[in-house]
Homo-oligomer: A and B are copies of this chain.
Amino acid sequence: MSLPRLRRRELPDATIARLPQYIRCLSQLENAGLRTVHSADLAAHVGVSGAVVRRDLSYVGSYGTRGVGYPVSELRDSVNRALGLATEHRMVIVGVGHMGRAIAGYTGFAERGLRVVGLFDIDPELIGSKAGNPGSEVLEIMPLADLAAFVHTNDVAIAVVATPASAAQSVADLLVDAGITSILNLSAVHLSVPDTVVVRPVDLATEIQILAVHAAARGRR
């Protein structure tokens, strides 16, 4: 039992990022009645090479057969297991401005085993109003004072920080005190947290700046 565990723990981030795309493709193929698929077909769907697909799938313990390909439904099960989709990963969003609402309204979380269960803000005018995706789940915005109890009661491990930069660190402190161990940080400031907490920063302005610097470099060539 230790080998699959080890494998799962070592999934590279880039592989994790592509696995849901394989699942989506495999579900379509299954619905269309196909039983096997070649790595080249998955590769075309995801926009990577066949070699990348084969390496990704080797991480989830699937190797395919030369000339035949991969069995569609078994492969989908393997990818599901690797992503832990049997478990529901519950998350809260703190900061319900445009960015928080964009995430709250995202319709693709369920297929990834993710679920937004709570929305929090400090603005009294927002508290009690609703946000989310009308197609699936609409949630009432709660005050930050309720965060710790909510996280504890609802077994939440993941939080999205979508506050202005000025509020982000104090929100992170609250989240850590509440027992959150994984934070997606959209606030564009560095968050100081204990070593036991994982922060994944996404700074859209920086992403655009990287594009701009490369564009300028291309222009100079």
A46 interface hit (Cβ, 8 Å): yes
Determine whether the beta carbon of A181 is less than 8 Å from that of B215: yes
CB distance from A13 to the nearest CB of B (A): 5
A38 to chain B: which residues have CB within 8 Å?
none
Please provide the chain A residues from 72 to 87 with a CB less than 8 Å away from any CB of chain B in the complex.
Answer: 82-84, 87
Docked pose: A134 CA to B108 CA in angstroms: 31
Of A26-34, A62-70, A94-102, the one touching chain B: A94-102
Q: Is A205 a contact partner of B112 (Cβ separation < 8 A)?
A: yes
Task: Please provide the chain A residues from 1 to 39 with a CB less than 8 Å away from any CB of chain B in the complex.
Answer: 5, 8-9, 11, 13, 16-17, 20-21
Please tell me if A214 contacts chain B, counting CB pairs below 8 Å: yes
Interface residues on A, range: 35 or more
Residues of B close to A149: CB separation below 8 A: none
Instruction: List 24 A–B pairs whose Cβ atoms lie within 8 Å, in order of A's numbering.
Output: A8-B216, A8-B217, A9-B221, A13-B210, A16-B213, A83-B209, A84-B213, A89-B212, A89-B215, A91-B208, A99-B102, A102-B102, A108-B205, A109-B205, A112-B208, A114-B209, A181-B218, A182-B211, A182-B212, A184-B207, A184-B208, A200-B207, A200-B210, A202-B207
- List chain B residues, Cβ under 8 A from A145: none
Tell me if A167 is interfacial: C-beta within 8 Å of chain B: no
In this assembly, does A47 line the interface, its C-beta being within 8 Å of a C-beta of chain B? yes
In the complex, are the beta carbons of A211 and B47 less than 8 A apart? Answer: no
The answer, among B45, B202, B208, B216, for a CB contact under 8 Å with A84, is B216
How far apart are the CA atoms of A91 and B208 in the complex, in Å? 9
- Decide if B198 touches A184 in the complex (CB within 8 Å): no
